[in-house]
Structure 1
Amino acid sequence: MQAQLETLSNLERRMNIALPMAAIDAQVTERLKNMARKAKIQGFRPGKAPLKIVEMNYGAQVREEVLGEQVQQGFYKAVSEQKLRVAGYPRFEPVADEGDKESFKFAASFEVYPEVKVGELAGKEVEKPAVVVTEAEIDKTIDILRKQRTRYERVEREAATGDRVIIDFKGSIDGVLFDGGSAENFPFVLGQGQMLADFEAGVTGMKEDEVKNITVAFPEDYHGKDVAGKTAVFEITVKNVAAATLPEVNEEFAKLLGIADGDIEKMRAEIKKNVEREVKRRLQASIKENVMQTLLDVTEIELPKALVQLEVGRLIEQARRDMESRGLKVKDMPFPPELFQQQAERRVALGLILAEVVAENKLEAKPEQIKAMIEEFAESYEHPEEVVQWYYASPDRIEGPTSMVLEDNVVEFVLGKANVVEKEMSFDALMGNNA
């Protein structure tokens, strides 16, 4: 085998390889002989067909298989000898050479991994948010839990903000009903912004069995392009008005939250434990994001196009599965690659940078770290020991926790090098609450 390497750019390479045709022919013949021992060919008993007949029937297929294998093996042997790290998949193409009957020539075009040199971290500012969980945060969490268990009871009065109404409605523009503008027994809560402001304002103050026409102006940027910027008239029939009733914080409420004896203090302690766990998780995620951005900021890196394309494909497939899991039909839905390009580039860049930081600074995940991570996952389950056993039942299941430990090790390393600035953050801001 002969191999010649060409450098096309910083990352692009082209390998010209010549394989001895005699070796290929020998393999083809050997495989045909093996096939001949079992081949079922019309007019001959199984395994009794002459080699020439077997070759006529299967020769082209076998030669194609052998060539494919030899090209793959020849390529990876060549890149191994030249100590090249191939990024993504190579593109193979035959090279015609009428003057050489002794060799099969082909070219492989591919990219190599870039050299990654992480920039200077000393003095680089990394923000580290901090949140203190107080009794006020526990009270807010309890209020959220109460609202999640809201019950609605029918009332004989005008609908007001906070009430749930069930209505029939028919919408028309210039006297013509439009698609998506009608529904029966449609429930929504007034004041939660589920409907357009004009629509909610029109329903507010109506009573059960009342019928009324209201005028609604659709915004210019409304998602329904057919009605955006237009004015519609809706005929509203109120079927039911129900007032919200929140559960009292008492023994029964505590039992609903899993406190067997209904003890309120136990309930608050359990809620505090869960809130602190969630706060810790979100703080770690925020710090990690800041560290990752710092690594990106200090490191110049050229990305292999092949790796970015592979990552775009993974993100598209992930988005497709996510939408399907929500019951959406995505079979013929287009997923433009450019929508995922920036995210893919960021993920590829971080993957390369993190691998370099881990290798350069010996930050590999230790078994005890992985075990601690799995045990932390398991804490939120009713039977944590079963969760731990599940993870250790298969090596593949350890990959997720291992990756997270590696990232945590990198975060600690960067925080030890950079200038860490602690910043107080509100509980609501961390949790994404509007309160």
Structure 2
Amino acid sequence: MQVTMETTEGLERQLKITVPSEIIEKTIVSELKKISKNKQFDGFRKGKAPLSMVSRMYESSVRQDVLNELMQKHFFDAIMQEKLNPAGAPTFTPEEIKKDSDLVFKATFEVYPEVTISGLDKIKVEKPTCSISDSDIDEMIETLQKQQSSWKESNDKVDHNSKVKINFEGKIDGEVFDGGKAESFELEMGQGKMIPGFEDGIVGHIKGDKFDVETQFPEDYHAENLKGKTAVFSIEVLDVLTRELPKLDDDFALKFGIKEGGIAALKTEIEKNMNRELKQTIKNKIKDMALNGLLENNEIDIPKALIDQEIEVLKKQALQQFGGNMKNTPELPNEIFSEQAKKRVSIGLLLGEFIKQEKIEADDTKTKELIADIASAYEDPSEVIEYYNKDEKIFNNMKNLALEEEAIDKILSSAQITEKEFSFNELMKK
């Protein structure tokens, strides 16, 4: 086998591989003999059909199959010989194929980039600090109350805590525009779901009022034809509803699984959950800053094949949000996912090389700590721990996660870390 290599562009490589004709013809004869031995032919006992007859019938298709198999085999032999690490499937381009002639073909593919990690001491991480206050807990209780609340019709004036049922029709320069009209539309005030000024124009009105509200679409509005345009909405208030909050008593606590201790026990449980959420949020933010810093200080070439693979992964994840039903999902262009895919592939390559460079190994103790941390959020942690431990595939996934965390900790040990205080709400919304 003869092999010559050429660097065509960036990470792309091209191998010119020659397979001797003797190997091709010998392999074809071997395959034809297998057919003759194993296939029943009319007029002949099994295995007794002449090879010449079998050759006339099957040589063309057998030759094509053999050539494909030999290109695959000799490609893998060639990359082993040249010590290459392909980042995706190769494209084979055979030259003219003739019987009793050598097979000469080109294999075009990308290789993984050479990565050297540096600049860890230049990574800047602003570590969030936060403590949960009584007012944070009270605010969470209020949120839970709203979730359990009911609505009743009211003759009160509309305020930012009301829900209204309205008819509206919007016009720009006296013309109704697409999406600017609705009937019996239910709007919960104070949620910021409408364009600025729309809700403010309804506040203070009562059931039965008819009025106009002039407002302007934001310059960054998603519909190009409406950006920055002034619109006049004719609005009729059909109903005004006010929220009725449930009492904070033992029955309310019971709705959240608190059988004893009432509201005090509920607050304790809420604080515990908020602390768990806070810990995970801080951990994720620090991780993102560390990985972004790693990326900013280590520019690498990225194989297009890996980006394309990652785009397909992101597409599948997006389609799952539509229920996985391909018939009812929109066409998702690759451009939507391109930048995210590049970033994920880059971080994956850098982190993988860093783990290799630092000889970081997955630790079972760390993995079990990670599982225990996840299990603590469930009613029966021991059952969750058993589930993770008995399934080898799931445990190995957690082991990989633990390996990643070990690597993040190692990166942070060299990074420039400062602290910044946040309130609970600031941090959760940041």
- Both structures adopt the same fold (TM-score exceeding 0.5): yes
CA change 1:57–1:389 in 2 (3 A) is farther
Question: Quick one: percent identity of the two aligned structures?
Answer: 36
8 Å Cα contact 1:122-1:418 kept in structure 2: yes
CA change 1:329–1:200 in 2 (3 A) is farther
CA change 1:53–1:124 in 2 (3 A) is same
- Greater CA drift, 387-396 or 158-167: 387-396
- How far has the Cα of 1:215 moved from its partner? 4.4
- How far has the Cα of 1:76 moved from its partner? 1.1
1:87 — aligned with what?
87
Question: 1:121 corresponds to which letter in structure 2?
Answer: L
CA change 1:206–1:140 in 2 (3 A) is closer
8 Å Cα contact 1:199-1:214 kept in structure 2: no
8 Å Cα contact 1:129-1:422 kept in structure 2: yes
2:68 — aligned with what?
68
1:316 — aligned with what?
315
User: Gaps spanning 5+ residues in structure 2: where?
Assistant: none
User: Gaps spanning 5+ residues in structure 1: where?
Assistant: none
CA change 1:45–1:381 in 2 (3 A) is farther
Residues 275-312 of structure 1 deviation map (CA, whole Å, 9 limit, x = unaligned): 11111101111111111122123323222232223223
8 Å Cα contact 2:195-2:218 kept in structure 1: no
* Separation in structure 2 between the aligned mates of residue 34 and residue 297 of structure 1, nearest angstrom: 58
* Separation in structure 2 between the aligned mates of residue 143 and residue 328 of structure 1, nearest angstrom: 40
Question: 1:64 corresponds to which letter in structure 2?
Answer: Q
SS of residue paired to 2:243: strand
CA change 1:354–1:239 in 2 (3 A) is same
- How far has the Cα of 1:332 moved from its partner? 4.8
- How far has the Cα of 1:7 moved from its partner? 3.2
Residues 370-401 of structure 1 deviation map (CA, whole Å, 9 limit, x = unaligned): 22212222222233333334334543323442
Question: 2:273 corresponds to which letter in structure 1?
Answer: N
1:325 — aligned with what?
323
1:432 — aligned with what?
429
1:104 and 2:103 are equivalent in the alignment: yes
Question: 1:77 corresponds to which letter in structure 2?
Answer: D
Question: 2:203 corresponds to which letter in structure 1?
Answer: T
TM-score, scaled relative to structure 2 = 0.87
* Separation in structure 1 between the aligned mates of residue 176 and residue 253 of structure 2, nearest angstrom: 49
CA change 1:286–1:234 in 2 (3 A) is closer
CA change 1:379–1:87 in 2 (3 A) is same
8 Å Cα contact 1:252-1:262 kept in structure 2: no
1:29 — aligned with what?
29
SS of residue paired to 1:152: strand
Aligned counterpart for 1:395 among listed residues 376, 392, 401: 392
Alignment of 1:364-383 (within 5 A): 364-383=361-380
2:148 — aligned with what?
149
* Separation in structure 1 between the aligned mates of residue 218 and residue 96 of structure 2, nearest angstrom: 61
- How far has the Cα of 1:365 moved from its partner? 1.2
8 Å Cα contact 1:39-1:47 kept in structure 2: yes
- How far has the Cα of 1:246 moved from its partner? 2.4
Residues 323-348 of structure 1 deviation map (CA, whole Å, 9 limit, x = unaligned): x13989764524142x3332222222
- How far has the Cα of 1:79 moved from its partner? 1.0
SS of residue paired to 2:418: strand
* Separation in structure 2 between the aligned mates of residue 216 and residue 126 of structure 1, nearest angstrom: 46
Question: 2:346 corresponds to which letter in structure 1?
Answer: A
SS of residue paired to 2:159: coil
Aligned counterpart for 2:415 among listed residues 397, 418, 432: 418
CA change 1:31–1:154 in 2 (3 A) is same
Residues 106-128 of structure 1 deviation map (CA, whole Å, 9 limit, x = unaligned): 11122222221111434654322
* Separation in structure 1 between the aligned mates of residue 319 and residue 114 of structure 2, nearest angstrom: 34
Residues 391-432 of structure 1 deviation map (CA, whole Å, 9 limit, x = unaligned): 345433234423321221112112222332222233222111
Alignment of 1:97-246 (within 5 A): 101-122=100-121, 124-171=123-170, 178-208=177-207, 210=208, 212-219=210-217, 221=219, 222-225=221-224, 234-246=233-245
* Separation in structure 2 between the aligned mates of residue 420 and residue 232 of structure 1, nearest angstrom: 49
8 Å Cα contact 1:218-1:227 kept in structure 2: no
TM-score, scaled relative to structure 1 = 0.86
Question: 1:23 corresponds to which letter in structure 2?
Answer: I
* Separation in structure 2 between the aligned mates of residue 363 and residue 102 of structure 1, nearest angstrom: 51
1:283 and 2:282 are equivalent in the alignment: yes
8 Å Cα contact 2:156-2:206 kept in structure 1: yes
1:15 — aligned with what?
15
Question: 1:317 corresponds to which letter in structure 2?
Answer: K
1:3 — aligned with what?
3
CA change 1:399–1:65 in 2 (3 A) is farther
8 Å Cα contact 1:211-1:235 kept in structure 2: no
State how many pairs are aligned.
Answer: 429
Residues 157-184 of structure 1 deviation map (CA, whole Å, 9 limit, x = unaligned): 3322211112334455677655433333
RMSD: 3.2
